[in-house]
Amino acid sequence: MLNISEIFCSIQGESTYTGLPCVFIRLAGCNLRCNYCDTTYSYKSEITLSINDIIAKVKEYDPVKLVEITGGEPLLQPEVFQLISSLHENGNTILLETNGSILLKNIPEYVIKIVDVKCPGSGEEDSFLLENLEFINQESDEIKFVLSDNFDYNWAKDFIMKYKLNDYEILFSPVSGKLEPQDLAKWIIEDKLPVRMQLQLHKIIWDKDKRGV
């Protein structure tokens, strides 16, 4: 059984899959407390579902085959590996959004990982497990930095240089209400930085505090 916060279908709002219809499976519980967290409601949930129940729910959204497992932090629940395998058997393309603090070693190759590196502005700067760099696939995975200010921007830039991540798919995302997208855009252009800037599309389409979108 998995402790679930919510399951819904919406438009993918982040990553290089932005804009595509996607089924989101949000698992409950998180080991971090980022100060800009917009899913604090996912820290606790009374809902528990079996893998079969979850797959049945996902099938309700056929023919949408893109599925994102997110949280909270989805890797805190060991049964997530069975979920991954069942979704794969069901023919789904699986995105896994994780906060970077849990070891990625045993995630199957077919899963597309979107891995956060928490910047100082999050209040969880030291949470990233450096060992995880070994398990991030340069061809298919994505590394995300959520930036609160110029200090975070320079910190992320230094991180990319230090760990030679230039050839990875790097996402830079401004914290909504804290960092103006225009400022981030200007810095990226000035530095000619090979990163992909992204805005949270779901917050532009829907009310920014709306759940289940």
Task: Find the largest Cα–Cα distance for the chain.
Answer: 50
Using rule CB under 6 A, residue 32 touches ligand SF4:
yes
Using rule CB under 6 A, residue 34 touches ligand SF4:
yes
CA atoms in the 13 A half-sphere facing the CB of 199: 16
Using rule CB under 6 A, residue 37 touches ligand SF4:
yes
Using rule CB under 6 A, residue 87 touches ligand SF4:
no
Using rule CB under 6 A, residue 121 touches ligand SF4:
no
Number of residues counted as binding ligand SF4 (CB under 6 A):
10
- Rounded to a whole number of angstroms, the minimum distance from the CB of residue 33 to ligand SF4 is 5
- Rounded to a whole number of angstroms, the minimum distance from the CB of residue 4 to ligand SF4 is 14
Using rule CB under 6 A, residue 102 touches ligand SF4:
no
Member of 14, 68, 73, 169 binding ligand SF4 (CB under 6 A): 73
- Rounded to a whole number of angstroms, the minimum distance from the CB of residue 44 to ligand SF4 is 12
Q: Which is nearer to ligand SF4, 129 or 193 (CB)?
A: 129
Member of 16, 18, 39, 86 binding ligand SF4 (CB under 6 A): 39
Using rule CB under 6 A, residue 129 touches ligand SF4:
no
Q: Which is nearer to ligand SF4, 73 or 142 (CB)?
A: 73
Member of 2, 4, 25, 71 binding ligand SF4 (CB under 6 A): 71
| Crossing angle for the helix pair 181-191 and 150-162, to the nearest 10 degrees | 40
Q: Which residues bind ligand SF4 (CB under 6 A)?
A: 30, 32-34, 37, 39, 71-73, 99
